[in-house]
Amino acid sequence: MKSEEKTFPLNQSVDTYNPDITDQGLAFSRLKNIQPRLGRYMLPNGLELVQILGDEPIIAFAHYTQPVDKYSSLYAVTLTSIYFFDFSTGEFDETPIYTGFPEMDSPVMVVPWYDTVYVSKAQGKLIKLQANVAVEVENAPGARYGLSSNSHLMLAYLSDVTSEQPTTVRWSDLYLPESFEITSDSEADLFELEPSDEEITGLSYQRGVNILYTRNSIWLARYYPLPTGYKFEPLFTGIGNIYHGAQLRIKEVDIFIGEDNFYMIDGLQLTAIGDGSFSIRQSTRKTRI
């Protein structure tokens, strides 16, 4: 099937959008001439819409579209805070809806889930965003990486305000993204990668499996219903993604930066896509962001 990219004007404050390239009824509500793209707001003519939010840089955006009522909610994440976008004014509210993140520049985890979105970062808590309300999820770990997988919320590189678990993966109960208690009748559980992996640097989902990237290896996590749950197995050893935030998923392809080249995983096949003309010093691999 040949893919086709279609564009549409937003200057008429459209309430819905369906370009006839999907049967899922995706919709955006009252976007008013802007769209989040490439980590910033872009106007149709390519100019940036600039708004100062406090005195901290914006390091991520988060958004979700409610699948039934078709309304959207949009957020900007700074080093310590989260701001809510007011579609009626066309600007972010000046007062943040959350201010509890530690002042650390790290990858921001963003996972939409039906009519809400979950956000976290290194040494921060798991935050649930719904409309203009932010709530800290009780008894749930914070994480640098996360995704929705087989109706579970999976978190990787766990952390809180006092400690980090860089090789730990944990997931919620089935259909319950805020339930992480491990019991005999729950699918919530955790897995520890090898210490030699050093730390998790990326998390992806493609072709029915989760892919975990560390500095020294790449792991697969396949899901099976109870009593089995997730099963982890190494896919590649001696190669991994060496930088936090350097692993990128594009549809069913992952691109990441190894120690000696740029790489692509397509259909679980590993291919070097760079010219191999650069190398990363051993000391760099030990540096955490």
- pLDDT, one tens digit per residue, over 187-202 is 999 999 988 888 999 9
- pLDDT value for 46: 44
DSSP letter (8 states) at residue 265 = E
Q: Which of 261, 267, 258 is nearest to 285 (CA)?
A: 258
- pLDDT value for 118: 97
- pLDDT value for 50: 57
Q: Which of 120, 124, 168, 123 is nearest to 146 (CA)?
A: 120
- pLDDT value for 117: 96
The Cβ of residue 212 has, within 10 Å, a number of other Cβ atoms equal to: 29
- pLDDT value for 155: 97
The Cβ of residue 272 has, within 10 Å, a number of other Cβ atoms equal to: 13
Angstrom distance (rounded) from CA 248 to CA 252 = 11
Structural tokens at position 223:
């899901």
Distances (CA, A) of 11 to 14, 15, 21, 31, 49: 8, 11, 21, 9, 14
Instruction: Tokens 């990237």: give the residue.
Output: 213
- pLDDT value for 215: 93
Local structure of 90: helix, strand or coil: coil
b/e map 186-210, b = 16+ CB within 10 Å: bbbbebebeeebbbbbbbbbbeebb
**What ranges make up the beta strands (E) of 44-194?**
58-65, 72-78, 82-86, 91-92, 108-113, 116-121, 127-130, 133-136, 142-149, 152-159, 164-171, 189-192
Residues of the chain with pLDDT under 50: 1, 3-35, 37-41, 43-48, 280-289
